[in-house]
Amino acid sequence: MIHPTAIVDSKAEIDSDVQIGAYSIIGESVFIGSGTKIGPHVVIEPYVTIEPNCQIFQYAAIGAPPQSVKFKGETSYIKIARNTIIREFVTIHRGTEFGGGITEIGEECFLMAYTHIAHDCSIGRQVVMANNATLAGHITIGDHATIGGLSAIHQFARVGEYAFIGGLTAVPKDVPPYVLASGERARLRGLNTVGLKRHGFSTKARSELKKAYRIIFRIGLTLTEAIQRVKAEVDQIPEVVNFTEFIKSSERGVTR
């Protein structure tokens, strides 16, 4: 059902069972999949794809041009995967040619009120962003990560899967998978033990990750020395390999 006060461009593709609330505006070249519910006063600008069964609450603004001095008006996109919840006053900006041209939100994400996702970000599946969490451009967030309220992440930084960023945290560098980071400037506080247990990680996986974490971050080795020692002393299960490969591939440097 589309409310009679909503404005929907004739070039938008809206599935027959989509609900659009009062005074919402849907631009051209927008695709909205089956079962999606859009509240009142939502603005969705051109070149946005919203997959089925999403919920978008009042006053969200999706698809505005990026806040980037390099943006010259080129066509760029947003893709929001199925079953994602977008709460009040969330803002999501389109990509830039420089950054790949697309901002992507994975399946089953939960974006709480006033969160902001800037241009060219790539958000994994089942990511939670609490109120007023802010992503600058070109950020990658891994699956199942949680970003605490009033936190801010620097452009080009990465947050690994299953990581937890505490509230009121500024994140200038990469945060590895499976860890907890918090503080006025992010510092590592150990493994995200509660999150790993909730997601069904085995006792062995948690134990081996704890060994790797201690070697890399707690005994004063150089990164090269630490990685070599992890390979020699820690069982190379997939979680440990993922942990060390993320750290080795960091270009911004890793939060410690």
**What interhelical angle do 238-248 and 223-233 show, nearest 10?**
170
> What are the C-alpha distances in Å from 94 to residues 16, 61, 130, 140, 147?
26, 11, 21, 15, 21
Average pLDDT, the chain: 98
pTM of the model: 0.97
Per-residue model confidence (pLDDT) at position 97 = 96
How far the first Cα of the chain sits from its last, in Å, is 51
Q: Which residues pair with 52 in a beta bridge?
A: none
pLDDT digits (tens, 9 = 90+) for 13-42: 999 999 999 999 999 999 999 999 999 999
> What is residue 87's DSSP assignment?
-
Total count of residues recorded for the chain? 256
Confidence of residue 245 (pLDDT cuts 50, 70, 90): very high
Confidence of residue 163 (pLDDT cuts 50, 70, 90): very high
- Report which residue type is found at 81: A
Per-residue model confidence (pLDDT) at position 114 = 98
101 torsion bin: left (phi>0), alpha (psi -120 to 50), beta (else): left
pLDDT digits (tens, 9 = 90+) for 59-83: 999 999 999 999 999 999 999 999 9
Say how far apart CA 219 and CA 209 lie, in whole Å.
Answer: 15
Residues serving a catalytic function are: 119-120, 137
The full set of domains in the chain, from first to last, is: 7-138 (2.160.10.10), 197-248 (1.20.1180.10)
Per-residue model confidence (pLDDT) at position 46 = 98
Q: How many CB atoms lie within 10 A of CB 231?
A: 13
Contact indicator for 81, 107 with CB cutoff of 8 Å: yes
Say how far apart CA 108 and CA 54 lie, in whole Å.
Answer: 8
Say how far apart CA 197 and CA 54 lie, in whole Å.
Answer: 28
What would the two tokens of residue 238 be?
A: 């997939």
Per-residue model confidence (pLDDT) at position 252 = 96
Say how far apart CA 188 and CA 180 lie, in whole Å.
Answer: 6
Taking residues 110-137, report their average pLDDT: 98
Nearest Cα neighbor of 99 from 129, 122, 133 is: 122
Per-residue model confidence (pLDDT) at position 238 = 98
Per-residue model confidence (pLDDT) at position 20 = 99
Per-residue model confidence (pLDDT) at position 212 = 98
pLDDT digits (tens, 9 = 90+) for 185-225: 999 999 999 999 999 999 999 999 999 999 999 999 999 99
Per-residue model confidence (pLDDT) at position 189 = 98
Contact indicator for 206, 220 with CB cutoff of 8 Å: no
User: What SS3 string covers 93-105?
Assistant: ECCCCCCCCEEEE
> What are the C-alpha distances in Å from 18 to residues 15, 57, 86, 112?
6, 14, 15, 22
> What are the C-alpha distances in Å from 178 to residues 140, 161, 194, 233?
15, 6, 10, 19
